[in-house]
Structure formats: structure tokens, C-alpha cells
Homo-oligomer: A and B are copies of this chain.
Amino acid sequence: MSSGHNEKVNQQLFLKRVPEGIAGPEDFEAKQLPIPECGDGQVLVESHYLGLDAALRLIVRDSDEFLFRVRPGDIVRGSAAGLVVESNNPKFAVGDYVLASGGVQNFIVSNGEGLERIDVSQAPLGAWLGGFGVSGLTAYFAVTEECKPQPGQTVLINGAAGAVGSIAGQLCKLAGATVIGLTGSAEKCVWLVEELGYDIAINYKDADWYEQLVEAAPERLDVIFDNVGGTILNESLRLIGMHGVVLLCGSTSQYTEEEMSGPSNYIWLGTMRARMQGFVIFDYVERYSEARARMARWIRDGRLKIPSYEVTGDVDVFPEAFQRLYEGKNLGKMLLKLPAAD
């Protein structure tokens, strides 16, 4: 063993019970386990950052409706960015930075499948879990291939300060559109406009948010980029413009609800010859490196920021960070920065 990790333990986070409302620390349990053995053909990765994803709330539900499910007693699913600390696999060397989907723990053992090598000269390690990772790629392909905003068009980003929204809004600005962001606090509104260059940001907790939106979009909306679902999607549908696109990218507002609600204003799609469409990032997997090269250039030129909101702590802090994600504290991707990152 080369890196001294054998004095450490592997802390793993398990789901204790099906949460009600926002999941909290009482729904999880952290256990200290030995560091796994790195067998033939295997790679041992030490996690430096863990990504927090609102959709986790969906897969811990008491429902088999979704492809993945985490049941009480299971390790919590999650993505990590970390360092290869031991390798018996010719494809990975000690010292390589990698992305791994090995759950919420300090050490991940893998046969190499699903590990993705990271070039930290393109973007810092943590960014690869968020704005330069799947969240950023989602924003990139959704904007450039699905919504295709044109100069002069008006785009609304619902969930504008989140991991995907914060990148999507900037990419729509780069495409020449007027960008309106809906988000959940006055602080985030200031940040969207001053840091990310949104044209207008509206706090959906304002009683008159819809009237503010009507005023902000006098010629209606060419694109609604929706990360939240629920009331916000439903109300904004009333403003969809002629031949508009409603891109469904998430429905975070619904993940804690017993019954999902549907957008009754979908009939506006008819009147406006608009379409509401789904999108799955994995369809673009062959083009990830092309997208990253382009995004890396924009980052270098100062035209694109990759925001993340870091909570510092060990694996047992993950539930608290998740709670803060649902409280909407994050500006950009919410990350848990583990002790190994220091």
C-alpha cells in the first residue's frame, strides 16, 4: 500500500429508513468499515468530493417506479471524484484522478468499469461532479441540441441557481438569448445577475412572482428550461410562446411529494404550437469530450463559470448537506468536500 490509507477507515453511509418530507440525519446511518481490498484487475479510489443530487430523494422513496432504488439497509448512491490510491488494473495508475459511482463512502473498489479519468487541467476536481460533470453536460446538450435558443429569444430557467440551471443560463446567454432565472431567495437573485450574467432573476417566494415574470417576458417565452416541476412549471406554461420548447430536465419540487402533480396548463402547448420534451443526457455520451473541450475554452476565456457550493466534512456530514440542498442553500452544485481533499 502506497498512500498510507491503511491507517484510515472506510466510512459508509446507509439508508436507515424511508424518509418523510426532506430527508434528514435521522434517516441515515454512517458505519466505519475496513478499507476494501484491491484485488486482481481492480482499482482502489479514495473519494475527495461527493456530489449531492436532489434526485436522490426520489430513489429513496418507497416505490419501485424508478430504475434505481435505495432501500433501507442499502448504501446511499452517489458520485465521487477522487484519486486512484492502488491499482492492479493496467488502465489506471496510482495518482490518476477519476469519477466513480460507488456510493457515499471514502473508498471505492472497482474493476475499472464506470470509472472515468479526469483531466484536472480542464477544470478543478470538484467541478467534475457538477458544472463540468453530468450536471454541466446536461445543461450543455439540453441548450445546444434540444432547446437551441436563438439571439433575441427569451429563455426562462426554472431552478436557475442549481447545478444544471446555473450552467444552462450562462450557455443561453452565450447563445445570445435574454435569460430570466427563477430561484428561491433574494440572495440567489443577486448572484444570478451579478455573477452569472442573467438578465433578470425572480424570487419565486415573492407573492407576485408570476406578475414579475409576465413583465419580464412581454413577448412570452421561447424556451422554458424546467428543473423543478410543480406549480412553477405549471404557471410558467401559461407564458410559453409560439413554437416554444419546454425542456424537462428535472422536477425537484416533486421529489418529496407523495403524489406528483401534473401541469394542467399543458393545454397551452396546443394554443402555442409548442412542445414539451424529455431529454436524457446519456444519449450524448459519445460527445462528452467534445462538449468539455468547448466548455474548458469558455472557462479559460472567462465566459463560463462553474459554480459549486462546498460543505466540508466526512461521510457522516452528507445527510446534513443533503438537507441544506433541499433548503436551497446552494449556489451551483452542492458538494461534500471530504478530509482527503485537503
A6 interface residue (CB < 8 Å to B): no
20 sample A-B contacts, Cβ–Cβ < 8 Å, listed by A number: A234-B262, A248-B266, A248-B270, A249-B270, A254-B267, A260-B264, A262-B262, A262-B266, A263-B263, A266-B266, A269-B278, A270-B278, A270-B280, A271-B278, A273-B278, A273-B280, A273-B283, A275-B275, A275-B276, A276-B276
The yes or no answer to A279 lying at the interface (CB within 8 A) is yes
In the complex, the count of this chain's copies comes to: 2
Check B276–A266 contact: CB distance below 8 A: yes
Q: Which of A219-249 contact B (CB under 8 A)?
A: 229, 234, 248-249
Task: Say whether A278 contacts B274, CB under 8 Å.
Answer: yes
Q: A248-B270, A263-B263 are in contact. List 11 more A-B contacts (CB 8 A).
A: A248-B269, A261-B262, A262-B264, A266-B276, A270-B280, A271-B278, A272-B278, A273-B278, A273-B279, A273-B280, A276-B277
Assembly CA distance A259 to B263 (angstroms): 12
B283 and A279 form a contact (CB under 8 A): no
**Chain A interface residues (CB < 8 Å from chain B):** 229, 234, 248-249, 251, 254, 259-280, 283
Name which residue of chain B comes closest to A246, CB basis. B276
In the complex, what's the smallest C-beta–C-beta distance from A135 to chain B, in angstroms? 15
In the complex, which residues of chain B have a beta carbon less than 8 angstroms from the beta carbon of A249? 270
Are the C-beta atoms of B266 and A259 separated by less than 8 Å? Answer: no
